[in-house]
Amino acid sequence: MYVLDLEEMAQFFVKSFTLVAIFATTCVVLEVIFPAYRYSFASYVRGARNWVIRIGCGAVIWHLYALGLQLLGIKPLLLL
């Protein structure tokens, strides 16, 4: 019988996330050093700003969603 091991799943997620973060950082560095198009540095700064805003809005939305579930008395399947 297969037993779901949450600790093993969490470790796998962290390892996968680490590899993705390293690869993404490498891609960003290569793109800044050897740009594929003639974008200015200001364009990269605006793009980074937009991503920070999107990630912040997403975090706020998910936090409000979690608070809504808590108010309804619904317990999450996994707590971190």
Q: Would you say the pTM of this structure is higher than 0.85?
A: no
Output the pLDDT for position 80.
66
d(CA 72, CA 56): 24
Structural domain boundaries in the chain = 1-36, 38-80
What average pLDDT does the segment 14-32 reach? 83
Residue 44, burial from CB neighbour count under 10 angstroms (0-12, 13-18, 19+) = middle
Q: Which two tokens stand for residue 24?
A: 């993404």
Backbone angles phi, psi at 4, to 5 degrees: -75, 115
Model confidence at 1, pLDDT cuts 50, 70, 90, reads: very low
